[in-house]
Structure 1
C-alpha cells in the first residue's frame, strides 16, 4: 500500500521520531492508526449505549411514563439557581 502524505504530516511524523517518542516513521503511523481504531470502538460503544437508552425511553413512553417538559425545565432552572447561590458564597 502506498500512501501520500502532505508536507505538514511528513514533518509531524519526522518530528515525533526526532523527539525520541518513536523509533521510526512506521511506528508513528501505526500509533495513529491504533488511536483511530480505539476512537471508533469508543464511538461505536457509545452509539450502542444511546440506542439502548432510546429504546428504554420509548418503552417508558409506551407505558405512559411521561414527564411534563415545562416542569422538568423549571426544576432544572431552580437547581441551577440554587447551585449558583451556593457557589457564590
Structure 2
C-alpha cells in the first residue's frame, strides 16, 4: 500500500490513466471490429470506409501511448491488404 504522499499521488494518477487508456483502447477496438465485420460481410466499400475511419483512431492511440507504433502499423497493413483483396 502507498505510504508516502508521492506514492499516494502516483497511485491516484495511475488509476486515472488506466481508465483513460482502457476507454481509448476499447474505442480503437470498436473501430477495428467494424472493419472486420465489413470484411466478413464481403462489402468492400463499407470496409474501405471503416478502414479510413479506423486509421486515425489507431494512430492517435500510438501518440497517446496505448499501442506501440509497430503494432499499429502491422494492424493497418494487415487490414488494408485484406480490404484490398476483397476485389
Same fold judged by TM-score > 0.5?
Answer: no
Q: What is the TM-score normalised by the length of structure 2?
A: 0.42
Larger radius of gyration: 1
Q: Which has the higher contact order (CA 8 A, sep 6+)?
A: 2
Q: What is the TM-score normalised by the length of structure 1?
A: 0.41
More helix by share: 2
